[in-house]
Structure 1
Amino acid sequence: MAAEIQGRAEDRGPSLSDRLVVAGVSGCGKSTVGSALAERMGCEFLDADDFHPPENRRKMESGMPLTDADRWPWLEKLGVELAKRDRVVLACSALKRGYRDRLRSAVADLDFVVLSVPRTELEHRMERRDHFMPASLLDSQLTDLEVGEDVRVIENVGPVGDVVARIFDGR
């Protein structure tokens, strides 16, 4: 999967806005990499998981994927939070172009970095962690993932510092 996504990505160079979304499927390292990016940028870090309403969390915990209707109010809330801040890194799945467009409607100067991780590693990570999102929902996330020219894809392999450097280097 990583090679497939990487092959579809274009090198967009190292310029990043002061508002950045680290996106991708569950288990790809959004929170870990996003937190490290925020530290390097000297800005606030937000985790979109903290903004899910209880009903969304319960749905995912029970093994049911969220629908677009479940996600729209959550994305609206995230857009409001992003607009309140001049400099911020947000960890958010933002799997579909429409979801990213919804966030961009709140904040125009928003960059997206999608983390790419091989499927077997994603499964391994998800099975080992204590999180409301079960590994059984990985297939639904991979099905929803839309990678296009509106994102930069970065392979999340190796030390976190190396991944952060690759994001800043644009490769």
Structure 2
Amino acid sequence: MRIILAGVSGSGKTTIGTLLAEALHCPFADADGFHPPENIAKMSAGIPLTDEDRAAWLDALGDYLVTHDPIILACSALKKKYRDQLRAFTAPEPIRFIVLTAAPSVLRERLDERAAEGEHFMPASLLDSQLATLELGDDVEIIDNTATPEDVVTRIFT
């Protein structure tokens, strides 16, 4: 079982992923830890990543997925082609993609709070570019993440 919690920054991937991994008694990983320093520097400077910037990052995540089953992974996976690239690594074994969503105002508030606490390199200024990049389709499950984290985890199980 491989579950990837996808979505834009501030959608709650890490919070929900940690709780889900605890409930399933399996490992949790955050894809942010796989970014090369160049990507982190760009995002920290408010510069959106390009497909080229993400290529090596996605390859590293795919290599990780091959050797980790079960796993809960928090990963933006904003475009269908990124998700397809990750699926190719584990085929024919499936990956369940769950996109966590919330209203832009909620996401911005979460990012502002996180920035005030110095918890993350991703600035709120990149939210609009992430929302514009996000592709939702029939290859993902969409779950609104505005309830309590425990309620969201329960919805994932149903």
TM superposition score normalised by structure 1? 0.88
Cα offset, 1:35, TM superposition = 0.8
| Moved >4 Å (runs of 4+) | none
Report Cα offsets for 1:65-116 as digits up to 9, x if no partner.
Answer: 0000000100000000011012000000000000000100111310100001
| Residue among 43, 55, 59 paired with 2:42 | 59
- 2:5 match: secondary structure: strand
Counterparts of 2:69 and 2:61, CA distance in 1: 14
- Structure 2 unaligned residues grouped into runs of 5+: none
Matched, 1:149 2:138: yes
- 1:73 match: secondary structure: helix
Matched, 1:38 2:21: yes
Matched, 1:118 2:107: no
Counterparts of 2:60 and 2:151, CA distance in 1: 32
Counterparts of 2:21 and 2:89, CA distance in 1: 20
TM superposition score normalised by structure 2? 0.95
- Structure 1 unaligned residues grouped into runs of 5+: 1-17
User: What is the number of equivalent residue pairs in this alignment?
Assistant: 152
Counterparts of 1:82 and 1:40, CA distance in 2: 20
- 1:43 match: secondary structure: coil
Cα offset, 1:29, TM superposition = 0.3
Percent identical residues: 55
Matched, 1:166 2:155: yes
| Residue among 60, 68, 74 paired with 1:77 | 60
Cα offset, 1:30, TM superposition = 0.3
- 1:22 match: secondary structure: strand
